């Protein structure tokens, strides 16, 4: 008799809080948008910083960490080194996020505390991943992407903590020079490279794609990694050529990544446009528009272009790439926990049966309309349009929370 390795299947109660909290933070971030006006739509505005940390830490990082608890053994083909550590990661990340969000909103003394709690949470995550990677005998490109992205995350959170201490007045640092490195290390170095690496595992798995080349992924990750390192260097060596070379490499990296996604899409056997597929299509479309807006900003220096680009990368690309995967990962986890022991004994549901079909499509439509309207509102600096978009987004985010609970409670 084969035994089902629990190393490859962390307990559901360990992973589910990441998805529940993540969806709640997504809803909170959507509500937050009602409090923006065109006056505070500036990159350095504390409200913007608070919002960005609420979304990135509370939603993006929370869900990615939860997904990694399940995906790391699958990707690395070894069991977790100490999977129990994930029980402390989500409470620390949640508390740290709230402290930082409140800190940016007018209580800067909370920032070092929030930053430290987030740092501890992420350090536990990174160290657990590193010690799991140590068990791997030979790294392939996907495993390598996990190692590279977590190394960037390690440095990104150290930069973030130094900045938090600077904001609170505890130490004197040039926050502006550290900001770019922090943003790039976390977003380009960790989130983007993690998503790139996982793309060649998850997209072909769900789309049943075969016969595509991995070479574009290698080129894409190499270019993005070089770009991140150059941005960090440019924070300390004030030489514009280094900075612009880094941006060019990041853009080239995305071109190769999109080519990879295109080849996976072209070779897929599964053509149905389910909630997963349409969420990813919207995510990649948002990224393409965001890249166009980013290039336009470099040419014009008109800040709303950069803000709209950032908005589409965050809520458009990251948001929809993650919500799309939530509809695949959460049903699997519930199915594995609740129904897999019943296989062969009684009729069990298929994974697709566990999705709230109408509600998940409503979530997609309301969020997609909301994100699109807000992107236009940022470009036009229009408060009314912003609130209209936020209204759609809050309805969509509420549906997401409802859908997560529906899937988790499916019996």
Partner 1 sequence: MYSKEELFLAISTVIDPEVGFNLVEMGLIYDAKCDDEGNAHVTMTLSTKACPMHQMILQWVKESVEKMANIKNVEVELVWEPAWNITMADDNVKKALGGA
Is 211 among the residues that bind partner 1 (CB under 8 A)? yes
CB 21 within 8 A of CB 90: yes
> Minimum distance from CB of 270 to partner 1 (Å)?
5
Measured from the CB atom, the residue of 46 and 79 that comes closer to partner 1 is 79
Choosing from 107, 130, 206, 405, the residue that interacts with partner 1 (CB under 8 A) is: 206
43 vs 47: CA distance, rounded Å = 9
Is 1 among the residues that bind partner 1 (CB under 8 A)? yes
Instruction: At 285, list the tokens.
Output: 């479309």
Instruction: At 141, list the tokens.
Output: 């490109």
Is 54 among the residues that bind partner 1 (CB under 8 A)? no
**Site size with partner 1, rule: CB under 8 A:** 34
> Minimum distance from CB of 72 to partner 1 (Å)?
11
CB 403 within 8 A of CB 329: no
Is 5 among the residues that bind partner 1 (CB under 8 A)? yes
User: Applying CB under 8 A, which part among 216-224, 235-243, 249-257, 342-350 lies near partner 1?
Assistant: 342-350
Binding mask 242-281 for partner 1 (x = CB under 8 A): ---------------------------xxxx---------
User: Applying CB under 8 A, which part among 40-48, 112-120, 258-266, 339-347 lies near partner 1?
Assistant: 339-347
> Minimum distance from CB of 351 to partner 1 (Å)?
5
Q: Pick out residues in 68-87 that bind partner 1 (CB under 8 A).
A: 70-71, 74-75
Measured from the CB atom, the residue of 288 and 348 that comes closer to partner 1 is 348
Q: Pick out residues in 281-300 that bind partner 1 (CB under 8 A).
A: none
63 vs 22: CA distance, rounded Å = 6
Q: Pick out residues in 352-371 that bind partner 1 (CB under 8 A).
A: 352
360 vs 267: CA distance, rounded Å = 26
> Minimum distance from CB of 208 to partner 1 (Å)?
6
Measured from the CB atom, the residue of 332 and 405 that comes closer to partner 1 is 332
CA atoms within 13 A on the CB side of 392: 18
User: Applying CB under 8 A, which part among 167-175, 186-194, 281-289, 345-353 lies near partner 1?
Assistant: 345-353
Measured from the CB atom, the residue of 8 and 259 that comes closer to partner 1 is 8
User: What does the binding site for partner 1 look like in residue numbers (CB under 8 A)?
Assistant: 1-5, 8-9, 70-71, 74-75, 201, 204-206, 208, 210-211, 269-272, 332, 335-336, 339-340, 343-344, 348-352
């Amino acid at each position: 008799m084969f035994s089902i390795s629990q190393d490859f299947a962390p307990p559901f109660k360990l992973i589910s809080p990441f998805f529940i909290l993540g969806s709640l933070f997504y809803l909170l971030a959507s509500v937050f948008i009602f409090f923006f006006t065109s006056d505070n739509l500036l990159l350095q505005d504390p409200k913007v910083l608070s919002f960005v940390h609420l979304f990135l830490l509370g939603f993006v990082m929370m869900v990615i960490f939860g997904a990694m608890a399940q995906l790391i053994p699958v990707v690395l083909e070894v069991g977790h080194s100490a999977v129990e550590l994930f029980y402390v990661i989500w409470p620390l990340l949640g508390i740290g996020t709230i402290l930082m969000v409140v800190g940016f909103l007018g209580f800067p003394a909370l920032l070092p505390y929030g930053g430290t709690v987030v740092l501890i949470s992420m350090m536990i995550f990174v160290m657990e991943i590193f010690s799991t990677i140590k068990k791997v005998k030979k790294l392939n490109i996907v495993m390598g992407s996990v190692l590279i992205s977590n190394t960037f995350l390690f440095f990104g959170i150290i930069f973030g903590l130094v900045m938090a201490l600077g904001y609170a007045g505890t130490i004197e640092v040039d926050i502006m020079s550290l900001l770019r490195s922090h943003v790039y290390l976390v977003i380009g170095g960790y989130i983007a490279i993690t998503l790139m690496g996982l793309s060649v595992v998850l997209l072909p798995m769900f789309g049943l794609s075969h016969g595509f080349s991995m070479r574009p992924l290698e080129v894409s990750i190499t270019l993005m990694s070089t770009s991140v390192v150059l941005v960090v260097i440019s924070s300390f060596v004030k030489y514009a050529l280094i900075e612009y070379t880094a941006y060019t490499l990041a853009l080239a990296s995305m071109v190769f990544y999109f080519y990879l996604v295109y080849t996976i899409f072209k070779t897929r056997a599964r053509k149905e446009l389910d909630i997963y597929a349409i969420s990813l299509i919207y995510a990649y479309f948002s990224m393409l528009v965001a890249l166009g807006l980013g290039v336009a900003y470099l040419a014009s220096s008109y800040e709303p272009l950069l803000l709209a680009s950032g908005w589409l990368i965050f809520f458009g690309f990251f948001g929809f790439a993650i919500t799309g995967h939530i509809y695949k990962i959460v049903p699997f986890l519930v199915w594995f926990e609740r129904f897999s022991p019943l296989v062969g004994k009684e009729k069990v549901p298929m994974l697709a049966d566990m999705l709230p079909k109408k509600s998940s499509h409503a979530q997609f439509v309301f969020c997609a309309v909301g994100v699109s309207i807000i992107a236009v509102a940022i470009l036009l600096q229009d408060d009314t349009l912003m609130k209209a978009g936020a209204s759609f987004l809050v309805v969509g985010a509420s549906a997401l929370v409802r859908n997560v609970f529906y899937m988790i409670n499916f019996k």
